[in-house]
Amino acid sequence: MEYIPIRVQDYAPFVGDQTVERILAKAEPLRGLHVINFNSTYYGGGVAELLSSMTILMNGLSIKTGWRVIQGSPDFFGITKKMHNALQGMGFKFSRIKRNIYESVIAENSIRNHLDHDFVIVHDPQPLPLIRHYKKKSPWVWRCHIDLSNPNRDLWNYFVPIIEKYDAAVFSIPEYAQKLNIPQVFFLPAIDPFTTKNRLLTDREMDERLCHYNIPTDLPLVVQVSRFDPWKDPKGVIKAFKLARKEVDCTLVLLGNFASDDPEGAEIYESLVKSREERILILPNGDDTALVNTLQRRAAVVLQKSIREGFGLTVTEAMWKGTPVIGGNVGGIRYQIRDGETGFLVSSIEEAAARIVQLVKDRKLREEMGRKARAVVAEKFLLTRYVEQYLDLFNSFEPHFELKGIFDRQTAFPANDSFPDPVLKCPPAMKSR
Ligand code: UDP
Tell me: do 223 and 128 sit in the same domain. Answer: no
Residue 424 pLDDT greater than 60, yes or no: no
Helices (H) and strands (E) in the chain, counts: 16, 12
Tell me if 81 is assigned to some domain.
Answer: yes
Supply the CATH number for residue 219's domain: 3.40.50.2000
Give pLDDT, residue 409: 54
Tell me: do 176 and 289 sit in the same domain. Answer: no
CA 125 to chain centre: 15
- What is the DSSP secondary-structure string of 54-77? HHHHHHHTT-EEEEEE----HHHH
- Does residue 88's CB lie within 6 angstroms of at least one atom of ligand 1? no
Tell me: do 60 and 182 sit in the same domain. Answer: yes
**Element of type H or E holding 416:** none
**Secondary structure of residue 282 in the 3-state scheme:** strand
- Does residue 302's CB lie within 6 angstroms of at least one atom of ligand 1? no
For residue 166, give every residue at least 6 positions away whose Cβ sits within 8 Å of its Cβ, in sequence order, or none.
Answer: 122, 131, 140, 141, 142, 182
Per residue in 243-280, pLDDT tens?
999 999 999 999 999 888 899 999 999 999 999 999 99
Tell me: do 342 and 390 sit in the same domain. Answer: no
Q: Which atom of ligand 1 is nearest to the CA of 317?
A: 11
Tell me if 74 is assigned to some domain.
Answer: yes
Tell me if 45 is assigned to some domain.
Answer: yes
- Does residue 256's CB lie within 6 angstroms of at least one atom of ligand 1? yes
Tell me: do 238 and 89 sit in the same domain. Answer: no
CA distance 360 to 240: 13
- Does residue 319's CB lie within 6 angstroms of at least one atom of ligand 1? no
* Cβ–Cβ < 8 Å for 297, 276: no
**Secondary structure of residue 100 in the 3-state scheme:** helix
Tell me: do 36 and 174 sit in the same domain. Answer: yes
**Secondary structure of residue 328 in the 3-state scheme:** strand
Tell me if 42 is assigned to some domain.
Answer: yes
Give pLDDT, residue 119: 97
Give pLDDT, residue 400: 75
Q: In what order do the strands lie in the sheet with 221-225?
A: 280-283, 251-255, 221-225, 301-304, 325-328, 343-346
Mean pLDDT of the chain: 93
Domain limits for position 173:
8-190+382-401
Give pLDDT, residue 430: 36
Q: What separation in Å is there between the alpha carbon of 199 and the centre of ligand 1?
A: 16
Burial (CB count <10 Å: 0-12, 13-18, 19+), residue 190: buried
Q: What separation in Å is there between the alpha carbon of 319 and the centre of ligand 1?
A: 14
pTM: 0.94
Burial readout 223-249 (b: 16 or more C-beta within 10 A, e: otherwise) = bbbbbbbbbbbbbbbbbbbbbbbeebe
Q: What separation in Å is there between the alpha carbon of 381 and the centre of ligand 1?
A: 16
Tell me if 414 is assigned to some domain.
Answer: no
* Cβ–Cβ < 8 Å for 253, 219: no
Tell me: do 351 and 389 sit in the same domain. Answer: no
CA distance 99 to 367: 51
Alpha helices in 141-281 (DSSP H): 153-163, 203-212, 234-245, 264-273
Tell me: do 340 and 268 sit in the same domain. Answer: yes
For residue 28, give every residue at least 6 positions away whose Cβ sits within 8 Å of its Cβ, in sequence order, or none.
Answer: none
Tell me: do 282 and 361 sit in the same domain. Answer: yes
Q: What separation in Å is there between the alpha carbon of 161 and the centre of ligand 1?
A: 31
Tell me if 272 is assigned to some domain.
Answer: yes
CA distance 359 to 352: 11
Tell me if 99 is assigned to some domain.
Answer: yes
Per residue in 99-126, pLDDT tens?
999 999 999 999 999 999 999 999 999 9
- Does residue 257's CB lie within 6 angstroms of at least one atom of ligand 1? yes
Q: What separation in Å is there between the alpha carbon of 98 and the centre of ligand 1?
A: 28
Tell me: do 33 and 164 sit in the same domain. Answer: yes
Helix, strand, coil percentages in the chain from 3-state DSSP, rounded to 5: 45, 15, 40
CA distance 248 to 220: 9
Q: What separation in Å is there between the alpha carbon of 390 and the centre of ligand 1?
A: 22
Whose C-alpha lies nearest to ligand 1, atom 9?
45
Whose C-alpha lies nearest to ligand 1, atom 5?
226
Q: What separation in Å is there between the alpha carbon of 211 and the centre of ligand 1?
A: 23
In degrees and rounded to multiples of 5, residue 118 shows phi and psi of: -85, -25
Give pLDDT, residue 177: 94
Q: How many domains does the chain have?
A: 2
CA distance 31 to 370: 39
Give pLDDT, residue 408: 55
- Does residue 262's CB lie within 6 angstroms of at least one atom of ligand 1? no
- What is the DSSP secondary-structure string of 110-172? HHH-----SEEEEESSTTGGGGGGS---S-EEEE--S--SS--HHHHHHHHHHHTTSSEEEES
Q: What separation in Å is there between the alpha carbon of 165 and the centre of ligand 1?
A: 30
CA distance 311 to 259: 17
Of the chain, the percentage scoring pLDDT greater than 70 comes to 93
Q: Which atom of ligand 1 is nearest to the CA of 311?
A: 19
